Structure 1
Amino acid sequence: MFISSIGNSFVWPLTTIYMHDQLHESLTMSGIVLLFYSGANVVGSYISGLLFDRHNPHWLLLGGTVIATAVIAFLIFFNGWPIYAVLLTAIGFFNGWIITLINSYATKISQDGRYVFSMLYFASNLGMVIGTTIVGPLYQYANGNVGPLFSITTAFYLILSGIALFCFNDVVKEPGTRTAQQGSRASSPLPRANLWICWTFFISLCVIWTMYEQWSSNLSVFMTEQGISMTKYSLLWTINGVLVVVSQLVLSWLSRWYNNPYLLVYIGTLTIGLSFVLLLAAKSYGWYVLAMIVLTIGEATVIPTMPAIVNSLSPVAVKGKYQGILNAYSSLGKAIGPLFGGLVIGAFSYRFLFIVCAGAIFLVELVILLVVLLKRPQTKRY
C-alpha cells in the first residue's frame, strides 16, 4: 500500500498543472480528465472486489500491477494530447483495482480488523505525503517534462509488481473449496441488519469524501483570496500527514484497553463536520490550522474504521465484493467532490458551501446513529 500510494502520488497531482501549462488545455478539461480518472477508479474497485471472491487473487493482483506498470511506462514516451488523458484513465482503473485487492487480502488476515485497516491507511497516507512532497520539486527541476517523473513512477510500480509476485503468492484460504464458498454464498445471504449497516457506511463514505474533497480542491482558491499564500495552504497538508501518523499510533495504543469501532465512527464523522463549522468562523491562518487538526482527527478515526466494520459484517465468500463496493463509493465521492463544490460556489458562495458540507455530514452522523442503534443488535459477525 505504501509503494502503491507513492507511485499514485506521482501521477494525479501533475494532471492540472501539466495539462494547463504544457498541453495548453483549459482548467475545465483538466477537471473532466480527473473525473474520468476517478470514475475509472470506481469501476476498477468494484470489478476487482467481485473477482477477488471468485478467482485466484494472486493472479488478479499480479496482472493488475503488471498492466499498470506497462501503461505508466507508455506515458514516459507518449504524453501528448489526447493520449495522456486516455492512459491516465487506464491508470485510474488499475489503481482502483490494486487498492481494492490489497484491502480484500487484508480481510484474510487473522488479526484485529481495526488494527489491520488502520495500518493500511497509515501506510497509504505516509506514501501520499512523501510522493506529493517530492513530485513538485522534481517537476520544476525537469522544466515541465513529465517523462522523467513517469520513469520514476514506473520504477515504483515495478517494485509493486515484484511484491505482488513474491509476497502474495500464498493465498490465505479459508476452510472449504471455492465451490463450497459459492454454495455458502447462495444459501446464506448477508443478514438484512448487516446489509443495512454496510450500505449506510457505503453511502456515508461517498458523502464524507465529497465534502472532504473541498479541502484539497476549492479551499486553496478561497484561502488565496483571503491573502493566505499557497505555501501556507500546502503546510496544512504537511500537518495533516504528520497528524495521521501520530493519530494512528495513538489509536492503536488506546485500542488495547478500549475497542468500540462504532464509537470511533461517531466521533470521526462529528469532527469532520465540525471542521467546516470552524471554516465558517475562520478569520486568520490559525483558524485554518485548527480546522485541519479537527478534520484530520476525524479522518484518521472514521476512514479506516468503516472498512474494518464492513469486513466483520461480511461472510468470507463475499468479503472482496463488499470491500470493492466500499472503495468504489469512496472513489465516487472523490470524483464528484470538486465538481460539486465548484457548482455550489458558482451558484452561491464559499460560505454557503461550508454550511452545506457541515449540514450534510451532521445528517450522515444522525443517519449512522439511527441505523446502528436499530440494526446492530440483529447483526451477525464473521
Structure 2
Amino acid sequence: MREIKLPWLLAGALLSSTGMSFIWPLTSVYLHNRLGINLTLVGLVLLFNSLASVIGDYLGGYLYDHYNPYRLLLSGILLTMSSLLALVFWHNWPIFGVLLFTLGLGQGWNLTLVNAIGTSIHNHDGRYVFNMLYFAQNLGAVLGASLVGYVYSFGVTWLFIIALVLFIFFYLIVAITYRPIAHIQRHHAKSNTKKPVVALPKGNHWLVLTFLIALLLIWIMYQQWVSNLSVYMTTLHIPLSKYSLLWTLNAGLIVIIQLLLNWLGHHFQNLFIQIEFGIFMVALSFGSLIFAKGYSSFVLAMIILTIGEATAFPAIPALVNLLTPTASKGKYQGLLNAFGAAGRALGPLLGGIIIEHFSYMHLFIIALSTIMFVWLGIFLVWHLVQHHLTYYDHLKVP
C-alpha cells in the first residue's frame, strides 16, 4: 500500500505555518492602531479566533476518522484561501473580525489533518515524524513572523496576498502528492464497517486524558511568554527589540534540538522520560524568571524553555499516536490540538487577571507550581497504568 512521502507532508506543514504567521502577529496592532478598535474588543476578537481554532481542531480530527482526508484537507485549504482572498479586498471592521474567525477555523482544521496524516506514515519512526512536523511548523512561524514587519510597511494588503500565494502552493502540493492518504483511509474505513470501533483500553484512556489536561494547563502558562513577558521586560527597561531576539534564539535552538533528538531517537526510545524531562524544563524556565532582572537572565530562561518545549511538545502526540487505534487516531490528534488551542486562548486573559490583582512574581510562581503539578500528575498516572497499556504501532515504549 502506497503512503504519502514525509517531505511532502513537511512541505505542506511549512507552507501552512508560514502563511498563517503573516496574519497573527499583526492582528492586535492592525485592529487597534489602524482600525481604532478598543483593546477589550480586540481581546474578544482574538478569543473567538482561538475558539474557532479549537472547533477546527476537533472537527478536523473527528472527520479524518470517518471521511476521505484527502478531500477534507483540500476543503480546509480552500476555506483558508477564500478567507485570505476576501481579506485582500475587504479588511475593514467588522469584516476583518469575521474573516479572522474563518481563518482560525481553517487553521485548526488544516493543522489537525496534517498531524493526523502523519500517523499514517509507517516507513519512518513515529517520534521522527512528529519531531519533523514540529520543526517545520515552528520554522514556518519564524519565517513569517520575521518578515511580517517589513512587508507590513508596504501595506497590509501585501500580507494577505503573500499568505494567499503560500496557500495556493500548499493546495497544489496536496492535490498532486497527497492522493495516497485517500486510499489508505478508505481501506481502513472498509475494514471497520463490519465491526464497531474499539474503545480505548482503560489505561490508555486515562493516560491520554491526562495528556489533554496537561496540554491545556501548560499552554495557558506558556502563553505568558508570548503575551505578558514583553510588558514585564519593558518595566525593567529592557527594549522590546531584545524581547524579539529571544524568539530568534528560540527558533535557532529548536532547529538544533530537533536534529539532536532525531539522532538520539536511534539510541533512546522512552517517550515518557522525554515528555517528563521537557515539562520539567518548561517549569524550570518560570522558576528562573522569578529571579530574572537582567537580560542575560531572560536569555537563560528562554534557553531552558526552548529545551523543554522542543523535547516535550512533539513527544506527546507521538506517544498518543501509539496509544490510539487507527480508527480514532484523527480524533485524538484533533483533541490534542484543541486542548492546546484552548490553552493558548485562555492564557493571555488569565495571565492578565493574575498580574492585575497580584503581580508578575505571583504569575511566575503560579506558572511554576501549575506545571510541576502537571509533571507530577503525568508521573503518577503513568506508573499506575504503564503495565496495562496497549500499543497500536511498531514502536513499544518501555
Query: Which TM-score tier does this pair reach, normalised by the shorter chain?
Result: over 0.9
Q: Which residue of 1 aligns with 2:130?
A: 117
Q: Which residue of 2 aligns with 1:256?
A: 266
Matched, 1:64 2:71: no
Superposition pairs for residues 293-332 of structure 1, below 5 Å?
Answer: 293-332=303-342
CA deviations over 1:308-358 (Å, ceiling 9, x no partner)? 000000001110011011110010001100001001101111110000000
- CA shift, 1:68, in A, is 0.8
Stretch moving more, 162-171 or 348-357: 162-171
Q: Which residue of 2 aligns with 1:74?
A: 86
Contact 1:185-1:318 at 8 Å conserved across structures: no
Query: Which residue identity lines up with residue 192 of structure 2 in the other structure?
Result: Q
Stretch moving more, 350-359 or 159-168: 159-168
Cα distance between partner residues in 2 of 1:165 and 1:150: 22
- CA shift, 1:174, in A, is 6.8
Q: Which residue of 2 aligns with 1:282?
A: 292
Q: Which residue of 1 aligns with 2:32?
A: 20
- CA shift, 1:36, in A, is 0.6
Contact 1:182-1:317 at 8 Å conserved across structures: no
Superposition pairs for residues 191-230 of structure 1, below 5 Å?
Answer: 191-230=201-240
Q: Which residue of 2 aligns with 1:270?
A: 280
| Paired positions, count | 378
Cα distance between partner residues in 2 of 1:346 and 1:370: 34
Pairwise CA RMSD: 1.2
Cα distance between partner residues in 1 of 2:194 and 2:348: 43
Q: Share of identical aligned residues, percent?
A: 45
- CA shift, 1:185, in A, is 4.5
Matched, 1:363 2:373: yes
With normalisation by structure 1, the TM-score equals 0.97
Query: Which residue identity lines up with residue 103 of structure 1 in the other structure?
Result: N
Contact 1:203-1:329 at 8 Å conserved across structures: yes
- CA shift, 1:184, in A, is 4.3
Cα distance between partner residues in 1 of 2:35 and 2:186: 54
Cα distance between partner residues in 1 of 2:135 and 2:321: 18
Q: Which residue of 2 aligns with 1:137?
A: 150
- Partner SS, residue 180 of structure 2: coil
Cα distance between partner residues in 1 of 2:284 and 2:64: 37
Contact 2:68-2:185 at 8 Å conserved across structures: no
Query: Which residue identity lines up with residue 201 of structure 1 in the other structure?
Result: F
- Partner SS, residue 267 of structure 2: coil
Query: Which residue identity lines up with residue 107 of structure 1 in the other structure?
Result: T
Cα distance between partner residues in 2 of 1:184 and 1:190: 15
Query: Which residue identity lines up with residue 63 of structure 1 in the other structure?
Result: S
With normalisation by structure 2, the TM-score equals 0.93
Query: Which residue identity lines up with residue 178 of structure 1 in the other structure?
Result: A
Cα distance between partner residues in 1 of 2:186 and 2:363: 51
CA deviations over 1:59-91 (Å, ceiling 9, x no partner)? 000011012101101001110001000001100
